[in-house]
Protein backbone atom coordinates (compact mmCIF):
# COMPACT_ATOMS: atom_id res chain seq x y z
CA UNK A 1 0.00 0.00 0.00
CA UNK A 2 1.48 3.35 -1.01
CA UNK A 3 1.59 6.52 1.04
CA UNK A 4 -0.12 8.23 -1.91
CA UNK A 5 -3.10 5.86 -1.60
CA UNK A 6 -3.38 6.69 2.10
CA UNK A 7 -3.25 10.43 1.42
CA UNK A 8 -5.83 10.35 -1.38
CA UNK A 9 -8.22 8.12 0.59
CA UNK A 10 -7.82 10.35 3.67
CA UNK A 11 -8.50 13.56 1.71
CA UNK A 12 -11.56 12.02 0.02
CA UNK A 13 -12.94 10.67 3.31
CA UNK A 14 -12.30 13.72 5.48
CA UNK A 15 -13.29 16.18 2.77
CA UNK A 16 -16.55 14.33 2.14
CA UNK A 17 -17.47 13.92 5.82
CA UNK A 18 -16.68 17.47 6.88
CA UNK A 19 -18.55 18.81 3.84
CA UNK A 20 -21.56 16.68 4.84
CA UNK A 21 -21.28 18.17 8.33
CA UNK A 22 -21.20 21.74 7.06
CA UNK A 23 -24.01 21.08 4.59
CA UNK A 24 -26.15 20.11 7.57
CA UNK A 25 -25.61 23.55 9.11
CA UNK A 26 -26.24 25.21 5.73
CA UNK A 27 -29.42 23.31 4.88
CA UNK A 28 -31.12 23.83 8.24
CA UNK A 29 -30.03 27.48 8.51
CA UNK A 30 -31.59 28.27 5.12
CA UNK A 31 -34.84 26.61 6.08
CA UNK A 32 -35.07 28.37 9.43
CA UNK A 33 -34.64 31.84 7.96
CA UNK A 34 -30.95 32.52 8.60
CA UNK A 35 -29.07 34.11 5.72
CA UNK A 36 -26.01 32.14 4.59
CA UNK A 37 -23.27 34.35 3.16
CA UNK A 38 -20.93 31.60 1.96
CA UNK A 39 -20.86 27.81 1.71
CA UNK A 40 -17.33 26.68 0.94
CA UNK A 41 -16.02 23.23 0.12
CA UNK A 42 -12.43 23.37 1.34
CA UNK A 43 -10.44 26.05 3.16
CA UNK A 44 -7.96 28.73 2.24
CA UNK A 45 -7.76 30.59 -1.06
CA UNK A 46 -10.96 30.47 -3.13
CA UNK A 47 -10.26 28.96 -6.55
CA UNK A 48 -13.85 28.98 -7.86
CA UNK A 49 -17.02 30.80 -6.79
CA UNK A 50 -20.57 31.28 -7.94
CA UNK A 51 -23.26 33.61 -6.65
CA UNK A 52 -26.47 31.75 -5.89
CA UNK A 53 -29.99 32.65 -4.88
CA UNK A 54 -30.40 35.02 -1.94
CA UNK A 55 -26.84 36.25 -2.38
CA UNK A 56 -25.23 33.06 -1.05
CA UNK A 57 -21.74 32.51 -2.44
CA UNK A 58 -20.83 28.91 -3.27
CA UNK A 59 -17.07 28.43 -3.28
CA UNK A 60 -14.42 25.81 -3.87
CA UNK A 61 -11.26 26.50 -1.87
CA UNK A 62 -7.70 25.29 -2.26
CA UNK A 63 -7.34 23.02 0.81
CA UNK A 64 -9.77 20.09 0.29
CA UNK A 65 -10.04 19.07 3.96
CA UNK A 66 -13.65 19.92 4.77
CA UNK A 67 -15.47 23.19 4.41
CA UNK A 68 -17.29 25.93 6.29
CA UNK A 69 -20.53 27.90 6.40
CA UNK A 70 -20.52 31.65 7.05
CA UNK A 71 -23.86 33.00 8.27
CA UNK A 72 -25.07 36.55 8.77
CA UNK A 73 -24.19 37.50 12.37
CA UNK A 74 -24.05 40.90 14.08
CA UNK A 75 -21.21 39.71 16.31
CA UNK A 76 -18.95 39.43 13.28
CA UNK A 77 -19.94 42.42 11.11
CA UNK A 78 -22.41 45.26 10.72
CA UNK A 79 -25.80 44.07 9.48
CA UNK A 80 -28.23 46.36 7.64
CA UNK A 81 -31.42 47.09 9.55
CA UNK A 82 -33.65 45.37 6.98
CA UNK A 83 -31.70 42.08 7.32
CA UNK A 84 -31.17 41.90 11.07
CA UNK A 85 -34.12 39.54 11.49
CA UNK A 86 -32.15 37.03 9.37
CA UNK A 87 -28.98 37.19 11.48
CA UNK A 88 -28.02 34.03 13.36
CA UNK A 89 -27.59 35.86 16.67
CA UNK A 90 -31.11 37.33 16.44
CA UNK A 91 -32.80 33.94 16.18
CA UNK A 92 -34.44 32.23 19.20
CA UNK A 93 -32.51 29.57 21.06
CA UNK A 94 -34.34 26.64 19.50
CA UNK A 95 -33.44 27.83 16.00
CA UNK A 96 -29.78 28.34 16.87
CA UNK A 97 -29.67 24.95 18.59
CA UNK A 98 -31.26 23.24 15.58
CA UNK A 99 -28.67 24.77 13.25
CA UNK A 100 -25.81 23.77 15.55
CA UNK A 101 -27.05 20.21 15.96
CA UNK A 102 -27.67 19.83 12.21
CA UNK A 103 -23.95 19.36 11.44
CA UNK A 104 -23.46 16.32 13.72
CA UNK A 105 -26.97 15.17 12.79
CA UNK A 106 -26.04 15.00 9.11
CA UNK A 107 -22.93 13.00 10.06
CA UNK A 108 -25.15 10.44 11.78
CA UNK A 109 -27.53 10.45 8.80
CA UNK A 110 -24.60 9.90 6.43
CA UNK A 111 -23.51 6.91 8.53
CA UNK A 112 -27.00 5.41 8.20
CA UNK A 113 -26.82 5.87 4.40
CA UNK A 114 -23.33 4.32 4.26
CA UNK A 115 -24.38 1.32 6.33
CA UNK A 116 -27.55 0.99 4.23
CA UNK A 117 -25.51 0.87 1.01
CA UNK A 118 -23.15 -1.64 2.61
CA UNK A 119 -26.00 -3.95 3.66
CA UNK A 120 -27.75 -3.70 0.28
CA UNK A 121 -24.54 -4.47 -1.63
CA UNK A 122 -23.79 -7.29 0.80
CA UNK A 123 -20.59 -8.33 2.49
CA UNK A 124 -18.91 -11.69 3.08
CA UNK A 125 -17.98 -12.20 6.73
CA UNK A 126 -16.27 -14.97 8.68
CA UNK A 127 -18.46 -16.68 11.26
CA UNK A 128 -17.23 -15.92 14.81
CA UNK A 129 -15.59 -19.32 15.27
CA UNK A 130 -12.56 -19.54 17.55
CA UNK A 131 -9.17 -20.60 16.33
CA UNK A 132 -6.25 -21.28 18.66
CA UNK A 133 -6.62 -20.07 22.25
CA UNK A 134 -3.49 -18.65 23.87
CA UNK A 135 -2.40 -20.62 26.97
CA UNK A 136 -2.83 -18.86 30.33
CA UNK A 137 -5.00 -16.17 28.76
CA UNK A 138 -8.39 -14.81 29.81
CA UNK A 139 -9.99 -16.89 27.04
CA UNK A 140 -8.27 -20.06 28.26
CA UNK A 141 -9.34 -19.36 31.86
CA UNK A 142 -12.93 -18.99 30.65
CA UNK A 143 -12.81 -22.47 29.10
CA UNK A 144 -13.04 -21.31 25.48
CA UNK A 145 -11.74 -23.85 22.98
CA UNK A 146 -10.82 -24.03 19.33
CA UNK A 147 -13.91 -24.57 17.19
CA UNK A 148 -16.34 -22.84 19.59
CA UNK A 149 -18.68 -20.41 17.83
CA UNK A 150 -19.62 -17.25 19.75
CA UNK A 151 -23.40 -16.96 19.52
CA UNK A 152 -23.90 -14.04 21.93
CA UNK A 153 -21.93 -11.59 24.10
CA UNK A 154 -23.70 -10.21 27.18
CA UNK A 155 -26.97 -11.56 25.79
CA UNK A 156 -26.65 -9.81 22.41
CA UNK A 157 -26.56 -12.13 19.36
CA UNK A 158 -23.32 -12.08 17.37
CA UNK A 159 -23.47 -13.19 13.75
CA UNK A 160 -20.02 -11.88 12.75
CA UNK A 161 -16.68 -11.00 14.28
CA UNK A 162 -17.61 -7.32 13.97
CA UNK A 163 -20.60 -8.01 16.22
CA UNK A 164 -18.35 -9.74 18.76
CA UNK A 165 -15.84 -6.89 18.77
CA UNK A 166 -18.56 -4.23 19.14
CA UNK A 167 -20.04 -6.03 22.13
CA UNK A 168 -16.64 -6.53 23.76
CA UNK A 169 -15.87 -2.82 23.39
CA UNK A 170 -19.33 -1.85 24.62
CA UNK A 171 -19.66 -4.18 27.61
CA UNK A 172 -16.10 -5.24 28.34
CA UNK A 173 -14.16 -2.60 30.29
CA UNK A 174 -14.57 -3.06 34.04
CA UNK A 175 -16.48 -6.33 33.64
CA UNK A 176 -14.87 -9.28 35.38
CA UNK A 177 -17.49 -11.79 34.23
CA UNK A 178 -18.66 -11.01 30.71
CA UNK A 179 -21.10 -13.73 29.64
CA UNK A 180 -20.45 -15.45 26.31
CA UNK A 181 -22.84 -17.95 24.78
CA UNK A 182 -20.89 -20.40 22.64
CA UNK A 183 -21.81 -23.32 20.43
CA UNK A 184 -19.33 -26.17 20.65
CA UNK A 185 -18.21 -28.12 17.54
CA UNK A 186 -20.63 -30.86 18.69
CA UNK A 187 -23.54 -28.39 18.48
CA UNK A 188 -24.13 -27.85 22.23
CA UNK A 189 -24.78 -24.32 23.53
CA UNK A 190 -22.85 -23.42 26.68
CA UNK A 191 -22.17 -20.27 28.69
CA UNK A 192 -18.69 -19.04 29.45
CA UNK A 193 -17.59 -16.09 31.59
CA UNK A 194 -14.71 -14.01 30.27
CA UNK A 195 -12.66 -11.79 32.59
CA UNK A 196 -11.72 -8.65 30.66
CA UNK A 197 -11.10 -6.31 33.61
CA UNK A 198 -7.57 -7.25 34.56
CA UNK A 199 -5.84 -6.99 31.19
CA UNK A 200 -4.92 -4.13 28.90
CA UNK A 201 -7.36 -5.15 26.20
CA UNK A 202 -8.93 -1.73 25.80
CA UNK A 203 -6.17 0.50 24.58
CA UNK A 204 -2.89 -0.74 26.01
CA UNK A 205 -3.16 -3.57 23.49
CA UNK A 206 -4.85 -2.43 20.26
CA UNK A 207 -5.68 -6.02 19.26
CA UNK A 208 -8.60 -6.62 21.63
CA UNK A 209 -9.14 -10.24 20.64
CA UNK A 210 -5.43 -11.00 20.79
CA UNK A 211 -5.14 -9.44 24.25
CA UNK A 212 -7.89 -11.76 25.45
CA UNK A 213 -6.06 -14.77 24.00
CA UNK A 214 -8.52 -15.25 21.14
CA UNK A 215 -7.62 -15.96 17.54
CA UNK A 216 -10.40 -16.04 14.94
CA UNK A 217 -10.57 -19.32 13.05
CA UNK A 218 -8.33 -19.57 10.04
CA UNK A 219 -7.87 -22.57 7.76
CA UNK A 220 -4.82 -24.68 8.50
CA UNK A 221 -2.53 -23.78 5.61
CA UNK A 222 0.75 -25.52 4.81
CA UNK A 223 3.71 -23.20 4.08
CA UNK A 224 3.65 -23.85 0.31
CA UNK A 225 3.93 -20.90 -2.06
CA UNK A 226 1.19 -20.59 -4.68
CA UNK A 227 1.95 -17.16 -6.15
CA UNK A 228 4.62 -14.49 -5.88
CA UNK A 229 4.28 -10.73 -6.15
CA UNK A 230 6.14 -9.55 -9.27
CA UNK A 231 9.51 -8.07 -8.32
CA UNK A 232 8.73 -8.61 -4.64
CA UNK A 233 11.33 -9.70 -2.05
CA UNK A 234 10.55 -13.41 -2.59
CA UNK A 235 10.83 -13.17 -6.39
CA UNK A 236 14.10 -11.25 -6.16
CA UNK A 237 15.51 -13.85 -3.75
CA UNK A 238 14.76 -16.71 -6.14
CA UNK A 239 11.79 -18.33 -4.38
CA UNK A 240 9.29 -19.96 -6.74
CA UNK A 241 5.70 -21.17 -6.87
CA UNK A 242 5.50 -24.67 -5.40
CA UNK A 243 8.32 -24.13 -2.90
CA UNK A 244 7.58 -25.49 0.58
CA UNK A 245 9.16 -23.26 3.23
CA UNK A 246 10.37 -25.62 5.94
CA UNK A 247 12.47 -23.19 8.02
CA UNK A 248 13.04 -19.46 8.55
CA UNK A 249 16.43 -18.45 9.96
CA UNK A 250 16.88 -22.16 10.76
CA UNK A 251 13.65 -22.24 12.82
CA UNK A 252 11.19 -24.92 11.63
CA UNK A 253 7.92 -23.70 10.09
CA UNK A 254 4.84 -25.89 10.45
CA UNK A 255 2.00 -23.67 9.25
CA UNK A 256 1.68 -20.66 6.98
CA UNK A 257 0.46 -18.57 9.91
CA UNK A 258 3.77 -19.02 11.73
CA UNK A 259 5.62 -17.86 8.61
CA UNK A 260 3.41 -14.75 8.36
CA UNK A 261 3.96 -13.85 12.02
CA UNK A 262 7.73 -14.23 11.68
CA UNK A 263 7.88 -12.10 8.53
CA UNK A 264 5.53 -9.36 9.82
CA UNK A 265 7.73 -8.88 12.91
CA UNK A 266 10.86 -8.17 10.81
CA UNK A 267 10.29 -5.21 8.45
CA UNK A 268 13.38 -4.37 6.41
CA UNK A 269 15.44 -7.27 7.76
CA UNK A 270 17.32 -9.95 5.83
CA UNK A 271 15.82 -13.38 6.48
CA UNK A 272 17.07 -16.83 5.40
CA UNK A 273 14.46 -19.27 4.02
CA UNK A 274 15.04 -23.00 3.74
CA UNK A 275 12.76 -24.43 1.05
CA UNK A 276 12.01 -27.88 -0.28
CA UNK A 277 12.00 -27.98 -4.11
CA UNK A 278 12.10 -30.96 -6.47
CA UNK A 279 12.96 -33.31 -3.62
CA UNK A 280 15.92 -31.25 -2.44
CA UNK A 281 16.49 -28.38 -0.02
CA UNK A 282 17.76 -24.88 -0.78
CA UNK A 283 18.63 -21.91 1.38
CA UNK A 284 17.68 -18.49 0.00
CA UNK A 285 18.01 -15.06 1.58
CA UNK A 286 15.51 -12.22 1.10
CA UNK A 287 15.39 -8.63 2.37
CA UNK A 288 11.83 -8.08 3.53
CA UNK A 289 9.89 -4.99 2.54
CA UNK A 290 8.73 -2.63 5.26
CA UNK A 291 5.12 -1.56 4.78
CA UNK A 292 2.69 0.39 6.93
CA UNK A 293 0.48 -1.70 9.19
CA UNK A 294 -2.36 -0.59 11.49
CA UNK A 295 -0.01 -0.36 14.48
CA UNK A 296 3.36 0.34 12.90
CA UNK A 297 5.63 -1.00 10.15
CA UNK A 298 5.38 -4.69 9.24
CA UNK A 299 7.48 -6.97 7.07
CA UNK A 300 6.30 -8.33 3.72
CA UNK A 301 7.74 -11.18 1.66
CA UNK A 302 5.37 -10.93 -1.31
CA UNK A 303 3.97 -14.46 -1.48
CA UNK A 304 0.53 -16.06 -1.15
CA UNK A 305 -0.22 -19.63 0.01
CA UNK A 306 -1.84 -22.67 -1.52
CA UNK A 307 -4.84 -23.85 0.47
CA UNK A 308 -8.19 -25.62 0.29
CA UNK A 309 -10.74 -22.87 -0.38
CA UNK A 310 -13.70 -25.14 0.40
CA UNK A 311 -12.80 -25.09 4.11
CA UNK A 312 -12.76 -21.29 4.10
CA UNK A 313 -16.04 -21.05 2.20
CA UNK A 314 -17.70 -23.21 4.84
CA UNK A 315 -16.81 -20.64 7.49
CA UNK A 316 -18.08 -17.66 5.50
CA UNK A 317 -21.53 -16.14 5.42
CA UNK A 318 -23.06 -13.38 3.33
CA UNK A 319 -24.63 -10.49 5.23
CA UNK A 320 -27.13 -8.81 2.90
CA UNK A 321 -30.58 -7.26 3.23
CA UNK A 322 -33.25 -5.89 0.94
CA UNK A 323 -33.60 -2.11 0.61
CA UNK A 324 -36.33 -1.80 3.27
CA UNK A 325 -34.84 -4.23 5.80
CA UNK A 326 -31.46 -2.53 5.34
CA UNK A 327 -32.88 0.75 6.70
CA UNK A 328 -33.56 -0.78 10.12
CA UNK A 329 -30.24 -2.63 10.13
CA UNK A 330 -28.32 0.51 9.13
CA UNK A 331 -30.04 2.59 11.80
CA UNK A 332 -29.26 -0.05 14.43
CA UNK A 333 -25.63 -0.30 13.33
CA UNK A 334 -25.24 3.49 13.53
CA UNK A 335 -26.77 3.57 17.00
CA UNK A 336 -24.56 0.73 18.27
CA UNK A 337 -21.38 2.26 16.84
CA UNK A 338 -22.31 5.64 18.34
CA UNK A 339 -22.93 4.12 21.78
CA UNK A 340 -19.60 2.26 21.68
CA UNK A 341 -17.74 5.42 20.59
CA UNK A 342 -19.32 7.48 23.36
CA UNK A 343 -18.62 4.81 25.97
CA UNK A 344 -14.97 4.65 24.93
CA UNK A 345 -14.63 8.44 25.19
CA UNK A 346 -16.13 8.39 28.69
CA UNK A 347 -13.86 5.52 29.71
CA UNK A 348 -10.79 7.35 28.43
CA UNK A 349 -11.75 10.32 30.62
CA UNK A 350 -12.36 8.11 33.68
CA UNK A 351 -9.25 6.01 33.07
CA UNK A 352 -11.09 2.72 32.37
CA UNK A 353 -9.75 2.75 28.80
CA UNK A 354 -6.34 3.88 27.65
CA UNK A 355 -5.86 7.14 25.73
CA UNK A 356 -3.84 5.00 23.32
CA UNK A 357 -7.22 4.31 21.69
CA UNK A 358 -7.11 7.87 20.34
CA UNK A 359 -6.07 8.05 16.68
CA UNK A 360 -4.80 11.05 14.76
CA UNK A 361 -4.68 11.86 11.05
CA UNK A 362 -1.74 9.54 10.32
CA UNK A 363 -3.47 6.45 11.67
CA UNK A 364 -6.81 7.44 10.16
CA UNK A 365 -5.10 7.90 6.78
CA UNK A 366 -3.63 4.40 7.04
CA UNK A 367 -7.05 2.90 7.77
CA UNK A 368 -8.56 4.95 4.94
CA UNK A 369 -6.00 3.58 2.48
CA UNK A 370 -6.38 0.00 3.70
CA UNK A 371 -10.18 0.06 3.51
CA UNK A 372 -10.15 1.74 0.07
CA UNK A 373 -7.83 -0.94 -1.31
CA UNK A 374 -10.08 -3.70 0.08
CA UNK A 375 -13.09 -2.43 -1.87
CA UNK A 376 -16.29 -0.42 -1.75
CA UNK A 377 -17.91 -2.16 1.22
CA UNK A 378 -14.92 -1.85 3.60
CA UNK A 379 -14.53 1.81 2.60
CA UNK A 380 -18.23 2.44 3.29
CA UNK A 381 -17.82 0.86 6.74
CA UNK A 382 -14.79 3.08 7.40
CA UNK A 383 -16.70 6.21 6.30
CA UNK A 384 -19.63 5.30 8.56
CA UNK A 385 -17.43 4.83 11.64
CA UNK A 386 -15.47 8.04 11.06
CA UNK A 387 -18.66 10.00 10.35
CA UNK A 388 -20.15 8.82 13.65
CA UNK A 389 -16.95 9.73 15.50
CA UNK A 390 -16.93 13.18 13.86
CA UNK A 391 -20.55 13.76 14.87
CA UNK A 392 -19.93 12.75 18.49
CA UNK A 393 -16.70 14.75 18.71
CA UNK A 394 -18.48 17.89 17.55
CA UNK A 395 -21.18 17.44 20.21
CA UNK A 396 -18.68 17.43 23.07
CA UNK A 397 -19.27 20.44 25.38
CA UNK A 398 -16.00 22.08 24.37
CA UNK A 399 -16.03 25.73 23.22
CA UNK A 400 -15.23 26.15 19.48
CA UNK A 401 -17.10 22.89 18.79
CA UNK A 402 -20.84 22.71 18.10
CA UNK A 403 -21.32 21.16 21.53
CA UNK A 404 -19.58 24.15 23.13
CA UNK A 405 -21.95 26.57 21.43
CA UNK A 406 -24.88 24.40 22.55
CA UNK A 407 -23.46 24.63 26.08
CA UNK A 408 -23.35 28.45 25.86
CA UNK A 409 -26.95 28.41 24.63
CA UNK A 410 -27.92 26.22 27.57
CA UNK A 411 -26.34 28.69 29.98
CA UNK A 412 -28.17 31.50 28.21
CA UNK A 413 -31.47 29.64 28.63
CA UNK A 414 -30.86 29.16 32.39
CA UNK A 415 -29.65 32.75 33.00
CA UNK A 416 -32.17 34.40 30.69
CA UNK A 417 -29.39 36.28 28.92
CA UNK A 418 -26.19 35.36 27.02
CA UNK A 419 -22.79 35.07 28.62
CA UNK A 420 -20.68 38.18 28.33
CA UNK A 421 -18.48 38.50 25.28
CA UNK A 422 -15.37 38.29 27.48
CA UNK A 423 -16.58 35.01 29.02
CA UNK A 424 -17.28 33.54 25.59
CA UNK A 425 -13.86 34.59 24.29
CA UNK A 426 -12.20 33.01 27.34
CA UNK A 427 -14.19 29.84 26.71
CA UNK A 428 -13.11 29.78 23.08
CA UNK A 429 -9.46 30.08 24.13
CA UNK A 430 -9.82 27.23 26.61
CA UNK A 431 -11.52 25.17 23.92
CA UNK A 432 -8.69 25.80 21.46
CA UNK A 433 -6.16 24.79 24.10
CA UNK A 434 -8.03 21.55 24.85
CA UNK A 435 -8.30 20.71 21.15
CA UNK A 436 -4.60 21.47 20.69
CA UNK A 437 -3.69 19.10 23.52
CA UNK A 438 -6.01 16.45 22.10
CA UNK A 439 -4.42 16.73 18.66
CA UNK A 440 -0.94 16.58 20.16
CA UNK A 441 -1.85 13.37 22.00
CA UNK A 442 -3.35 11.89 18.83
CA UNK A 443 -0.20 12.73 16.84
CA UNK A 444 1.95 11.21 19.60
CA UNK A 445 -0.08 7.98 19.44
CA UNK A 446 0.23 7.90 15.65
CA UNK A 447 3.99 8.35 15.74
CA UNK A 448 4.33 5.75 18.51
CA UNK A 449 2.43 3.26 16.32
CA UNK A 450 4.65 4.05 13.32
CA UNK A 451 7.84 3.57 15.33
CA UNK A 452 6.48 0.36 16.81
CA UNK A 453 6.93 -1.18 20.27
CA UNK A 454 10.66 -1.56 19.89
CA UNK A 455 11.11 2.18 19.33
Q: Which residues are catalytic?
A: 22
Among 18, 217, 38, smallest CA distance to 103 is for 18
Residues in contact with 272: Cβ distance below 8 Å, sequence separation at least 6, in sequence order: 248, 249, 250, 283, 284, 285
Q: Are 301 and 288 in contact (CB under 8 A)?
A: yes
* Angle, CA of 284, 287 and 290, to the nearest 5°: 145
Q: Are 198 and 173 in contact (CB under 8 A)?
A: no
Rounded to whole angstroms, the Cα distance separating 66 from 56 reads 18
Residues in the chain: 455
Rounded to whole angstroms, the Cα distance separating 441 from 434 reads 11
Residues in contact with 174: Cβ distance below 8 Å, sequence separation at least 6, in sequence order: 197, 347, 352
Rounded to whole angstroms, the Cα distance separating 57 from 36 reads 8
Amino acid sequence: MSVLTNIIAFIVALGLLVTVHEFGHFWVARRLGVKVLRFSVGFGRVIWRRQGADGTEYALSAIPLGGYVKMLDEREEDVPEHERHRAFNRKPLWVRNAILFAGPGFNFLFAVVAYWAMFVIGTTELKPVLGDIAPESAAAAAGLERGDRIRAVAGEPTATWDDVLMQLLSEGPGNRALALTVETPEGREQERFLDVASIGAFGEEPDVLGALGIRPWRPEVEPVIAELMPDGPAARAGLAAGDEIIAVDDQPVGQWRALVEYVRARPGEEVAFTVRRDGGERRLEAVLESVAGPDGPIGRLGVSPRFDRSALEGMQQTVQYGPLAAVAEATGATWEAGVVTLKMLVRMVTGEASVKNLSGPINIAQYAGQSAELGVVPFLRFLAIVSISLGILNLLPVPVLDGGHLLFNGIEWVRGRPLSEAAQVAGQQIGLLLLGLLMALAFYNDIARLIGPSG
